[in-house]
């Protein structure tokens, strides 16, 4: 657990740096990172509902969960940015980009969640180690996917309006 206290924050810092490198914007990188606490809450609630304790395997589940949650946020956000840069307003980009990426985001979350269901329900040898990991991933993906699909586009539209990086159509309207 002491090593995880170092590894988890270090992995989050690395994720933040990679997001910034990919998106070239701290506000957009922070939008994706909002998924992490929401995913963590989902994982903790799932552990609590199943009567499981935070363990090393559950902590490893959080790291895996964070990877999928960030991937889903990044998939959506890059599409929204591409649409905005092609001339759409932030609101239209958020609405239409969310529709465009609904299936890929859901499929990524569902594949991971459904794949972990047998592990989460296992009772055989080693189940006490595997169940917390699977429970964290499933619970966290439920909450982070809801955030990604419902809240992230709305927040994106607001952040893009105030980011100081107008879309081409907004630039044309200013002149």
Which tens digits make up the pLDDT trace of 39-95? 999 999 999 999 998 888 898 899 889 999 999 999 999 999 999 999 999 999 999
Specify if 58 maps to a domain.
Answer: yes
Specify if 20 maps to a domain.
Answer: no
Specify if 4 maps to a domain.
Answer: no
Domain that holds residue 146: 25-163
Per-residue buried b or exposed e for 39-74, using 16+ beta carbons within 10 Å of the residue's own CB: bbebbbebbeeeebebbebbbbbbbbbbebbbbbbb
Specify if 14 maps to a domain.
Answer: no
> What is the rounded average pLDDT of the residues 162-174?
50
Cα–Cα distance, 2 to 170 (Å, whole number) = 50
Can you give the pTM of this predicted structure?
A: 0.83
Cα angle, residue 57 at apex, residues 52 and 63 outer, rounded to 5°: 110
Specify if 140 maps to a domain.
Answer: yes
Specify if 170 maps to a domain.
Answer: no
Which residue in 28, 117, 110 sits closest to 68, CA to CA? 110
Using CA atoms of 18, 23, 25, 27 in order, give the dihedral in degrees to the nearest 10: -90
- Tally of domains in the chain: 1
Mean of all residue pLDDT scores within the chain = 87
For residue 4, the tally of other CB atoms under 10 A from its CB is 15
Using CA atoms of 114, 47, 3, 74 in order, give the dihedral in degrees to the nearest 10: 50
Q: What is the pLDDT of residue 166?
A: 52
């Amino acid at each position: 657990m002491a090593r995880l206290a170092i590894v988890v924050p270090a992995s989050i810092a690395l994720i933040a740096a990679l997001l910034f490198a990919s998106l070239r914007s701290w506000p957009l990188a922070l939008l994706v990172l909002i998924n992490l606490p929401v995913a963590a809450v989902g994982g903790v609630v799932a552990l609590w509902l199943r009567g499981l304790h935070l363990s090393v395997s559950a902590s490893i589940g959080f790291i895996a969960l964070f990877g999928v949650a960030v991937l889903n946020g990044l998939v959506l956000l890059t599409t929204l940015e591409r649409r905005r840069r092609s001339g759409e307003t932030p609101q239209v980009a958020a609405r239409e980009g969310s529709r465009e990426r609904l299936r890929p985001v859901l499929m990524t979350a569902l594949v991971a969640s459904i794949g972990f269901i047998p592990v989460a329900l296992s009772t055989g040898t080693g189940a006490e180690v595997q169940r917390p990991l699977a429970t964290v991933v499933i619970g966290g993906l439920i909450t982070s996917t809801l955030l990604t699909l419902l809240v992230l586009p709305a927040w994106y539209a607001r952040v893009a309006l105030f980011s100081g990086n107008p879309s081409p159509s907004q630039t044309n309207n200013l002149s």
